[in-house]
Amino acid sequence: MLWKRAREVADAVTLPEPFDAETFVASLAAERGRPIELMPVSAPEGAPCGLLMSTERADYILYPTTTTALHRQHILLHEVGHLLCGHTGPAGGADGVALDAAAGRQLMPSLSPELVRRVLGRTTYTEVEEREAELVASLLAQRVVRPGEPRELAPDAPDGLRRFDSLFGGRSRRRAP
């Protein structure tokens, strides 16, 4: 069921061509009518790779300045996956993987401790939500790097290959005009 929902979410997304993560995030923000700000941060060793924070004004995606371009793209797609899936995190944060206040201060030293506490209280997700966002990110990333146009399998292709193709390929890529 998780795969099906993640596929539906990812298949509904139009990606710019050529793909650029910043362009994609900007077009998603315009489509949603709500700002999404990308914030590179100097993250200490062991800090989370990425973080989505939502406030009344905007959504903020934090990512480490020291990562590779490919990893950065995946982080952005993962955090966007949370937005696309409508994840808001549990009110109390009890079921999610919560950041503690010290990690929050390391990632966001310029924000007041009060604001960090308030935002972190709303920025935890269940394990299922994390898996769903990761699946959406992986499916979108696959569409970005898939070379050439999709091809149909031969009529006599083995069933195992058909199952694999139904999970990871064979879809037409939805691209912006």
State the amino acid at position 59 in one-letter form: D
- pLDDT, position 95: 34
- pLDDT, position 142: 92
* Residues of the chain by 3-state class (helix, strand, coil), percent to 5: 45, 10, 40
- pLDDT, position 6: 93
Total domains present in the chain? 1
Mind listing the pLDDT tens digit of every residue in the chain (177 residues)?
888 999 999 999 999 989 999 999 999 999 999 999 999 988 777 777 888 888 888 898 989 888 899 999 999 999 999 999 998 765 433 333 344 555 555 656 666 666 555 555 444 577 888 899 999 999 999 988 755 555 677 778 788 777 777 766 554 444 444
- pLDDT, position 54: 82
Residue 53: count of CB within 10 angstroms of its CB: 23
Residue 70 lies in a domain: yes
State phi, psi for 109 to the nearest 5 degrees: -65, -25
Q: Residue 129: give the domain boundaries.
A: 2-168
Q: How far apart are CA 6 and CA 47, in angstroms?
A: 27
Q: What is the CATH number of the domain that holds 105?
A: 1.10.10.2910
- pLDDT, position 171: 47
DSSP string, 45-110: TTS-S-EEEE-SS-EEEEEETTS-HHHHHHHHHHHHHHHHHT----SS-SSS-PPPHHHHHHH-TT
Whether residue 6 contacts residue 135, with contact meaning beta carbons closer than 8 Å, is answered with: yes
Q: What are the tokens at 97?
A: 């993987």
Q: How far apart are CA 2 and CA 129, in angstroms?
A: 9
Residue 127 lies in a domain: yes
- pLDDT, position 105: 58
Residue 177 lies in a domain: no
